[in-house]
Structure formats: structure tokens, C-alpha cells
A and B are shown apart, each in its own frame.
Chain A
Amino acid sequence: MGKITGKSRWVVLAVSLFLLAGSVFLGRYPAPFITGLSDMIANDLVQQVVLQIRIPRILAAFITGMVLAASGTVFQMIFRNPIVDAGFLGVSGGAAFGASLGIVLLGGSVAAIQGTAALFAVLGLGFSWMMAVRIRFGDWILRLILAGIAVSAMFASGTGLLKYLADPLRELPELTFWLLGGLWGITWTDTLQISAVCLPCLVIIWLFRWRLNLLSMQDETIFSLVADASKERILLLLTAVIATSAVVCKAGQVGWVGLIIPHIARRLVGSDAQKALPCSLILGGFFLLFCDNASRTLLSGEIPLGILTSFIGAGLFLGLLMNHRLLLKKG
């Protein structure tokens, strides 16, 4: 576990730029897999595809990955639980229910889907919080997680009901594809909208990266070290939820990123969030970029992104479990 030196920062930056730039050459137009530089220069339509579709999508994928990984780190550290992500707290469940509501009952416009997804993601957190306050069992962290599980289950039943009610020809395919996740319709407008919400949120989380370590301690220890831990927790949780709902609005349900990427980051640079959070951001960005590149390139049709992230994420998770390295790293 070496120190992150100035030299290694430049190496990470160079590799990042190379991979981001390399993704521009991947796609299925005008031919499968690789788009030649000559095509980009000579063919106006290819230029349009690259400039108007691929580049905003690549940026959106990278930001989405960063947000999910950063939020996962925040949730895991604040809840002192290395196996939670946005799926807890009712955030993802609320967003899925909201989007389903937008598709089935509100006409399925982009604004309806995104608006209701964001609204119910925040409501999911709110419900979980209110229920946790009223539960008379266990400590605050346990109560919040139990409340989040209950709220997620309620939203899941609501989503199931909406699927049952959806028009099987018109609404159900759209609903199913949204629930499976994907970045197929992303435009520059979408990317700029995501960036406007998510980049400030990522900056806030990054600024608090060292303090995340403090917030992972026991309540009485936090109390003896931190002047106002409740405010810091609320700020970071709200920031993570707002950023998550912003990307879930556009990308649908993209699972496992927030769970697995923080683990891999901790394996690589250690558990100190001062180092693990920046590593999570970069890894999350590239993990989602890799999955999205595969999603839009491998087959003639789009592979839903959530399927790929879940398949790869679950495999990595099992790998970590079988190596006994999920919670503890050899010293």
C-alpha cells in the first residue's frame, strides 16, 4: 500500500485521458467495434455520431460511475457497514418506483420519468429517516438500515403493481428497459444536466473525504471528536442521494457499482477514505465506462447497462468473498 506520489497522479491522469479518448473510437457505426480516425475526419455523419452521441454518452457514463462509487463510499462509511449502497435507505427503490409511475401513469415523457424518479428517491430517504426515528429497537444505524429495507420493499411492491398495470405493448418494454438501466438516449443536454447537479456534489464529498473516516466510528467516539456529526452526516447523505437520483434519472437502475467499487478501491490504496475516495471516483468512472462501452458495442442492439454491471459486480463480489478480503485486508 504505497503512498500516492506526484508521479503516480500524472500516470493516473494520463491513463484516464487515454481510456476516455480510446472510448471515442469504440462503437457500431459505421462498422462494428472500432471507428477509424480516417472515418471521423472524412465522414460528416460519423463526426456527428461521435460529437453528438458518443462523447456526451462517454462523459455521462464516467460521471455516473463516479457518483455511484462516491455515494457507495459515503453510505458504507456513514452506516459503518461495508455492504450497503444506495439500494439501502429506499433511494434506489424510490427512484425505480417514481420512474415506473412516470411511465405508466404520467404519460412516460422524459420530464415525468426523471422528475418522479428524483422525487421518490428523496422521498425514499425521507420515509426511511422518519421510520428510523420511530423504531424502538437497536442503535441509529441499525434502525436506519432496517427502515431502508422496509421502505425499499414497499417501493418494490409498488413497482411490481405498476408493471402489472402497464400496457404490455407500449409501457412495459420501456419500464423494463429503464429498470435494467442504460445510457442509450443520452444527449449533450442530459450530460450537462447531470454534470450541473453531480459535479458540485462530488466536490462536497471529496472535500469531506478525510472526515468520512471519523463518521465511521462509534457514536460516542464521533461525539468526542466531531463538533456536529449529525449535520455532517445529513449533509453527506443528502449530497449522495441527490447525486444518485440525478444519475438514476438518466441511467435507470445501475446496480452493484456503489457496493463493489469502494471495496476494490480500499484493496488498492487502503481504507483511509482520504485515499480510498479519490480512488473510488476514478475506478467507478472507468468501471461504468467499460460496461457502457461493452453495452453499446458488443451486440447490434443495446445490452442494458444494469445487466452488465450486475453480472461483473456480482462476480467481483464473490471473488472478494472467496478470498476472505471483503472486510479485512491482510496487514
Chain B
Amino acid sequence: MTTAVSMKNLCFSYDRDPVISHMDMALEKGTITAVLGANGVGKTTLLYLLLGLYEPDRGDILFFGKPGNRYTRGRLKQVIGMVSQNDTTPFDLRVDEYVLLGRAPHLGLLTIPGTADQKAAAAALSTVGMAHMADHAVTRLSSGEKQLVNMARSLAQEPEILLLDEPCSHLDLINSRQMLVLMKTIAQQGKTVVFTTHDPNAASAVADRVLLMKKGELVAAGTVDQTITSDLLTRTYGGSVEVIRTGQGPFVRAM
């Protein structure tokens, strides 16, 4: 298998307050990785480090064997994309115009998107099941609809590695399920997905690999069966957690 992302001895701190310490990790191409932990432990920080928005204090991040700085900035935007929380614009662009912005890394500095870009954006919108909303103002969508449209924008970007920050946080039960199915579909197409969540059930539903983060340390990393255990989750969240094994995978609840 090809390694899409390698983190080697990765360290990052805010004003001497360590958030990530000596993290070593390899994420395979076409897999889904869930970054799981309580609020404020540095899950989003890890995504920002992968994106290149933050510089690590120490250590390296490699994408397909090459450090980020060996890619041109433009090429790197084709390799890695991100949907952040509450990702939006104050201007009421139409949904199709908004999704089209995802094509930016594939365009020259002064190039206006053409028919091929519009087709790619329309296809991305169809993939998330929002084609019927193409002419709606993006500022008037519900939180769940916005999340799906942001996902479509990232799909239009066609990145090899997709970072999703709390993708299910604003979604109802059905939309949350749809988002998880969508992540699986994307991974089956060979894309590497890394998402943060504080919900172990969402992680166990789709993840090939789970990283359990606690403030400043990596509690554990491995498959769902290896990581979604009462002991590790109790250590991760700092409170008693029960894991019930069912025929459809583990079910987690706080005690």
C-alpha cells in the first residue's frame, strides 16, 4: 500500500503548552482515519499542521513520501484539501458558484473557471446529493446543508488527501449517516480521509484507523477494535466510558 501521510516525531505547542508531542504516524492511501478526543485536545491543530497552516515545532510531515515544502504551493493545494467547522462566506453566493471555488487550485492565477470546471463542480454537488439546491443562496442553507455543500466544494478541489474538521457536528441523524457514507465512498475512490470527531460511534462506524488524543499526548492509534475499548476511551476522555460490542460494531456510551 502507498503511504499518503507520514508524520515523524511531530511536535507542536502553543506558548510552551504542548499539544502534540513526538507523534509518529503513517496513514495509508484510500483509508479513513478518525482523530478522536475530548474538546480542546488539539484535534483541529493536528489538521492545521497537516494542511500546512501551522508550522510544527519539530518533526516532519510527508505527503506521498515528499515533505510539503518539496511541492509547489499550488500543487500542494491539489494534494490536500480541508473542510473546516462553520466554513462559509458572508456573501450570498449561489451554491453552484460556491462549489466552483473548489476548482481554484486547478486554475491559473487570473483564469476564470470554464465549462470543465463547472462540470466538475456540478458532479461534486450531485455526489453529495445537493444538485437540486444549486441555485440557492449558500447563506440561507441549514447547517447540515452547508456542511454538505462544503464537502462538495472540497470534492470539486479533487484533493488526494481530504481533512474534515468535525464533519458531523451540525448534522442530524440522517445527514450524519449520509456524511459517513459519503466519506466511505470517497475513500473507496482512493482518496485519503482524515476527520476529527468527539463521537466514538462516528469513528467506529467508518474509520480504518483511529487516533485517540488527549491533551499533549497520543493515547493510542490503531484499528477500531484496538482503540475503541473502555479502558482507552476512559483514559482519553478522563471519565468512565462503556463500550458495548454488537454485531454491527462497538457502541460507546458515557457512564
Task: Please report A residues at the B interface, Cβ cutoff 8 Å.
Answer: 1, 77, 80-82, 207-208, 210-211, 213-214, 216-221, 223-228, 266, 270-272, 274, 327-331
Does B58 belong to the interface (CB within 8 Å)? no
Smallest Cβ distance from A228 to chain B, in angstroms? 6
Hey, which chain A residues are within 8 Å of B14, CB to CB? none
* Complex Cα gap A329–B94 (Å): 10
Are B90 and A227 in touch, CB under 8 angstroms?
no
Smallest Cβ distance from B250 to chain A, in angstroms? 32
Does B104 belong to the interface (CB within 8 Å)? yes
Are B90 and A82 in touch, CB under 8 angstroms?
yes
Hey, which chain A residues are within 8 Å of B72, CB to CB? 227
Interface CB pairs A-B, < 8 A, 6: A1-B94, A216-B91, A220-B87, A221-B82, A226-B104, A328-B92
Are A208 and B110 in touch, CB under 8 angstroms?
yes
Are B136 and A331 in touch, CB under 8 angstroms?
yes
Which of B5-13, B23-31, B73-81, B235-243 is the interface stretch? B73-81
Does B105 belong to the interface (CB within 8 Å)? yes
Hey, which chain A residues are within 8 Å of B51, CB to CB? 220, 223-224
* Complex Cα gap A208–B108 (Å): 11
Smallest Cβ distance from B210 to chain A, in angstroms? 24
* Complex Cα gap A227–B93 (Å): 22
Are B93 and A226 in touch, CB under 8 angstroms?
no
With A80-B89, A223-B52, A224-B82 given, is the CB distance from A328 to B94 under 8 Å?
no
Among A207, A214, A266, A331, which residue has its beta carbon within 8 angstroms of that of B101?
A214
Hey, which chain A residues are within 8 Å of B163, CB to CB? 224
* Complex Cα gap A147–B137 (Å): 32
* Complex Cα gap A228–B87 (Å): 19
* Complex Cα gap A1–B93 (Å): 12
Hey, which chain B residues are within 8 Å of A80, CB to CB? 89-90
Does B112 belong to the interface (CB within 8 Å)? yes
* Complex Cα gap A230–B100 (Å): 21
Hey, which chain B residues are within 8 Å of A270, CB to CB? 92-94, 97
Does B140 belong to the interface (CB within 8 Å)? yes
Are A329 and B92 in touch, CB under 8 angstroms?
yes
* Complex Cα gap A213–B86 (Å): 17
* Complex Cα gap A214–B102 (Å): 9
Smallest Cβ distance from B94 to chain A, in angstroms? 7
Smallest Cβ distance from A140 to chain B, in angstroms? 13
If A227-B74, A266-B92, A272-B94 are given as contacts, then 13 extra A-B residue pairs at C-beta distance below 8 Å, sorted by A number, are A210-B113, A213-B97, A217-B87, A217-B101, A220-B53, A220-B84, A221-B87, A223-B52, A224-B157, A224-B163, A225-B77, A327-B90, A329-B92
Are B139 and A328 in touch, CB under 8 angstroms?
yes
With A210-B113, A329-B92, A331-B135 given, is the CB distance from A218 to B157 under 8 Å?
no
Hey, which chain A residues are within 8 Å of B102, CB to CB? 225
Hey, which chain A residues are within 8 Å of B223, CB to CB? none
* Complex Cα gap A331–B73 (Å): 36
Smallest Cβ distance from B53 to chain A, in angstroms? 5
Does B175 belong to the interface (CB within 8 Å)? no
* Complex Cα gap A211–B81 (Å): 18
Does B88 belong to the interface (CB within 8 Å)? yes
Are A329 and B137 in touch, CB under 8 angstroms?
yes
Among A1, A77, A218, A226, which residue has its beta carbon within 8 angstroms of that of B77?
A226
